[in-house]
Amino acid sequence: MPDSWLDLDPDAQFGPATLPYGVFSTASDPGPRVGVAIGEHVLDLGGTARALGAPFADTVAGPGLDALLAAGRPVWDQVRTALTAWLTDPVHADAVRPHLVDRSSVRLHLPFTVADYVDFYASEHHATNVGRIFRPDQEPLTPNWKHLPIGYHGRSGTIVVSGTDIVRPTGQRKPPTEPAPVFGPSVRLDIEAEVGFVVGTPSPMGESVPVDSFADHVFGVFLLNDWSSRDLQAWEYVPLGPFLGKSFATSVSPWVVPVAALEAARVEQPAQDPEPLPYLRGTRPWGLDLRLEVRLNGHVVSNPPFDQMYWTAAQQLAHMTVNGASLRTGDVFASGTVSGPEPDQRGSLLELTWSGKEPLRLPDGTERAFLEDGDEVVITATAPGPGGTVVHFGEVAGRILPAR
């Protein structure tokens, strides 16, 4: 990976090996447009492509990533190749420099139109912990868990970009001590640290997408916080699954890291036993060595390791379409909570505090079982890039507002 002609801090986020896509606006130009993060800058991609006469200029000229997502892998490769040249070959410096904006000055937006949203449940450690907590009298993993990646549809309309405040949800919960459900603000508000994937290339109804076609359909990767109300969820989720306990908000990081930036992060996933059915087997590994960090009010409370996920995103995509369900540009699917084997690798407060029984003691002297009003959660991640570089995912942040 050549260096950039930009004077980049080597420890800063978003070196030339990442080149994530986002949508930004500025105070002086409030129209959302496509940008690429490079060091402390955002490159106005639409403006650069137009000025340099790139063949894909129209595809990146819109107010969001939708057209680029729909354009398919050959165009994704073409844009990334051009971006790499523009930002590393000094011959382009004079032409490109006018299209750089100070990253600290931009407002970031939801980068694409979300079609369907599917949330998986792919960490064996998370599913085992949750099973022990929610169903203490049963086997923690259901009999199907190691045969298929369990997933369900979430609410697309409440996916919001990092930085959006989260209003504490209200609803029904049934404390074990009460004879009937009570109504009011959730008292067990939680996070779920996840990794999200966005589909670019659609697939027709009636056809399935093989595991090995993952990179032809999935455009990029981002971080996701699937805010969860554990009290609403516990009362409602049998028999048809989580609904209001999840549907009030899901936050995503604003920078979409292209799948092409993650070649050096690909690792073998954990061994699968029993061997999955043939439609869930691929020829190349799609484990991804992302290291997540979860901060609560500035204090690191967890470091979930994504390489420990039992099911890969490629397996999830194949499973999601094996019944002939079509894919649309903008479909989002997420890993489910990323939890590792160690107590400080758990991706939810439910697990970190063992359902509130073992509150976290934060360095500022406060304790947390679940989230309190005013709390802020920030999730970040890194992955190995080429030649010892680091791929940064930016952050997904959100602060809790009191119930209305």
Binding region for a second copy (CB under 8 A): 115-118, 121, 131, 134-135, 142-144, 147-148, 150-158, 160, 167, 169-172, 174, 180-181, 183, 186, 205-208, 229, 232, 235-245, 247-249, 274, 277-279, 319-320, 322-328, 331, 401, 404
The Cα 241–Cα 166 span in angstroms is 22
Q: Which is nearer to a second copy, 169 or 254 (CB)?
A: 169
Q: Is the peptide bond before 274 cis (omega within 30 degrees of 0)?
A: yes
Active site residue 126: yes
Give the bridge partners for 171, in sequence order: 184
CB of 229 to a second copy, least distance (A): 7
For residue 348, what are the CA distances in angstroms to 8, 23, 108, 130, 179?
A: 35, 29, 26, 10, 29
Amino acid at 210: P
Catalytic one among 125, 126, 319, 392?
Answer: 126
Q: Measure Cα distances from 193 to 250, 338, 347, 390, 396 in Å.
A: 11, 6, 5, 20, 9
Residue (25 or 170) nearer to a second copy, CB: 170
Q: Could you tell me which of 33, 26, 396 has the C-alpha nearest to residue 193? A: 396
Q: How far is the CB of 110 from a second copy (least distance, A)?
A: 12
| Two structure tokens written together for 46 | 């639409």
Shortest distance in whole angstroms from residue 361 CB to a second copy? 30
- Provide, rounded to whole angstroms, the least separation between the CB of residue 271 and a second copy: 18
370 vs 168: CA distance, rounded Å: 12
User: What's the min distance (Å) between Cβ of 401 and a second copy?
Assistant: 8
Nearest Cα neighbor of 159 from 250, 254, 272, 33 is 250
Residue (211 or 232) nearer to a second copy, CB? 232
The per-residue b/e assignment along 321-351, b for 16 or more CB within 10 angstroms, e otherwise, is beeebebebbbbbbbbbbbbeeeebbbbbbb
* Comparison of 47 and 151: residue with beta carbon closer to a second copy: 151
Chain centre to alpha carbon of residue 39: 21
What tokens appear for 52 in the block?
């340099």
Q: Is the Cβ of residue 64 or residue 169 nearer to a second copy in the bound state?
A: 169
Nearer Cβ to a second copy (47/245): 245
Nearest to 54, CA basis, from 22, 81, 72: 81
d(CA 5, CA 43): 14
Query: In angstroms, what is the minimal distance from the CB of 274 to a second copy?
Result: 7
Residues designated as active site: 126
